[in-house]
Structure 1
Amino acid sequence: MDPSTHKRYHVHGFDSRQHLEHYLSDKSEMAFAEDILIFPIEQLARTFTQGHIKGDVLIDISVGSLVHHLYAACEFFNHIIVLKASDGCIMELKRWLDSRTGAFDWGHATKLYGEIQGNSDQLQEKEGKLRSAIPHVMKCDLDKENMTDPIDLPPADCIISIWLLDNISKDQNDYINCLRKFSRMLKPGGHLILLGGLDMTYYIVGKDRLHVFTYDEDFARKALVGEGFVIDICEVKKRTAVSDLIDYKAMIFIAAHKEK
């Protein structure tokens, strides 16, 4: 299929519930548990427990209606501000935050985080702590220089962005421009955590094939350094999943800090 016909995540949107069912459910046929569930949770738990990344405000700017990557973060930040590009993603996330009937069940991710931390007890308490740490879910415009215009957010101690840059960047310049926006939202010395798919060209949600910016580890490293970040951690995990829904070759996890 011609890549120019692929839908754009932040332009056309996608079915956020279908996205969760395809890539993050606990169904036996879900092929991505090791790459998309376990790898991010392991890396984030390890990174935060080192104690270097903590503070008052964390901003999450991630694709879809994900929450599994925030279990570790809520242990080290007082407030998590979540930014979403579409009403559909906001509605799906708020169903879970408000414990509504029909919300996506993240119990398997909660249990996984507890197992990684060596504490599988009190799973409901873990979910409750994450819910209480997210006071705001805000709609943002990813094309604006200030994505939350007309609101100015307080400078963040940390930004987490999971698979978003892959989705919204048309090319290298777009990717770098997004990094520049993130940098402006951080305090001096603040941290940026990215997770993405390497050498990916598409992914499928329902009947839609979506655009992805294709890049490799070398580009990601150079882009961060070029925007004034110091890379503290970079881990690459080769693909284990067998599925035609998505064609990444590896997952990359990067934690970096903004030079003062």
Structure 2
Amino acid sequence: MMDSSTHKLYHVHGFDSRQYLEHYFSDKSDMVFGDDLLKSLIDNLRQVFAVGHIKGDILVDISLGSFIHHLYSACEFFKNIIVLKVNNRCIMELKRWVDERTGAFYWGHTSTLLQENEGNSDQFEDKEGKVRSAIQHVVKYDLEKENMTDPLVLPPADCVISTCLLDAVSKDQDDYIRYLKKFSKLLKPGGHVILIGGLGVTYFTVGKDKFHAFTYDEGFIRKTLVGEGFIIDYCKVKERTAVSDLIDYKAVIIISAHKEK
């Protein structure tokens, strides 16, 4: 096994954002993560939002890379989405899709998954449009700053959603807790957090490069959320089905919680 100390760090070294999307989210026949990272994610997030407790004016998305399918359900419950990205490459990749420019990554293959969930084949184009309309700002951030988006000060959010980011940027448990505290500061009193991550993961690959991932289990993330004053509302763990050496997660976890007022 490759020494984890030689793995790159996403927020320090960056990666090819298009290659990342092609590896893990494309419609190519050899893309093996469709069930784990597309279908299951869409299914579970629909359940999380359908309960009706998570809604409001502002949702902040601070996720790895430049994928958008995790926002399909969110755009039905939030008027404005503010997306935070760690580097310019990811910002440009996302804006290319938001602005419908030539060369934007194709997300049409997720329409089938959305139709299976919602039972309406006419809603997909509207949903893409809703996500585009809801994304009001794409902002660069720095995790090491007290205010991550300095000099901008974000309005308090009703919800923060984070997919795989804490896995990639946390070197250890202390880092994970420290960054979660920063996310928590973005919330209104009683606000919600939705975390999606890989259990048991140690690395992920983009192109020829291997990147560090923090290893944790369900017990750790539950204990951490409770320790930071959150009440857990939903938790689902999906065992891995994908066969690939690109990444070594054992399961995908989706967990939502609200902050005690």
After TM superposition, is the score higher than 0.5? yes
Q: Which amino acid aligns with 1:21?
A: E
1:161 Cα deviation from its structure 2 partner: 0.1
Between the aligned partners of 1:7 and 1:105, the Cα distance in structure 2 is: 27
C-alpha distance in 2 between matches for 1:123 and 1:182:
30
Within-5 A mapping of 1:27-38? 27-38=28-39
The code of the aligned residue for 2:231 comes to V
The C-alpha deviation readout for 1:20-70, integer Å capped at 9, x for no partner, is 000000111110001011111111111111111100000000000010000
| Structure 1 position 190, deviation (Å) | 0.4
- 1:97 maps to 98
- After TM superposition, where is structure 1 displaced by more than 2 Å over at least 4 residues in a row? none
1:70-219 maps to which residues of 2 (within 5 A)? 70-219=71-220
CA contact (8 A) 1:13 1:86 kept: yes
8 Å contact from structure 2 (residues 194, 257) kept in 1: yes
State the identity as a percent: 69
Letter in 2 for 1:222: K
SS of the residue corresponding to residue 232 of structure 2 reads strand
What is the 5 A alignment of 1:3-14? 3-14=4-15
Residue 68 of structure 1 corresponds to: 69
Q: Deviations over 1:160-206 (max 9, x none)?
A: 00000000001000000111111111011100000000000001000
Structure 1, residues 100-123: CA drift from partner, whole Å, max 9, x if none? 111000111233123211112142
Q: How far apart, CA to CA, are the structure 1 residues paired with 2:216 and 2:123?
A: 40
Q: Is the 8 A contact 1:110 1:126 kept in 2?
A: no
Q: Which amino acid aligns with 2:247?
A: I
Give the partner amino acid of 1:232. Answer: D
Given that 2:114 and 2:124 are in contact with CA atoms closer than 8 Å, whether structure 1 keeps it comes out as: no
What RMSD in Å do the two structures reach over aligned CA positions?
A: 0.8
Q: Which amino acid aligns with 2:257?
A: A
Q: Structure 2: 5+ residue runs without aligned partners?
A: none
Under a length normalisation based on structure 2, what TM-score does the superposition of the two structures give?
0.98
Paired with 1:70 and 1:94, the residues of 2 have a C-alpha distance of 15
Task: Report what 1:19 is aligned to.
Answer: 20
Counterpart code for 1:135: Q
Q: Secondary structure at the match of 1:115?
A: helix
Q: Distance in 2 between matches of 1:254 and 1:145?
A: 26
Q: Which amino acid aligns with 1:127?
A: E
Contact 1:198 1:249 (C-alpha < 8 Å) held by counterparts: yes
| Alpha-carbon distance in structure 1 between the residues aligned to 2:59 and 2:144 | 21
1:65 counterpart letter in structure 2: S
SS in 2 for 1:135: strand
- The 8 Å contact of residues 68 and 110 in structure 1, kept in 2 or not, is answered as no
Report the Cα distance in structure 2 between the residues aligned to 1:145 and 1:67, rounded to whole angstroms.
27
What is the letter of the counterpart of residue 5 of structure 1? T
Does the CA contact (< 8 Å) of 1:81 and 1:137 recur in 2? yes
Find the aligned partners of 1:107 and 1:93 in 2 and give their Cα distance. 15
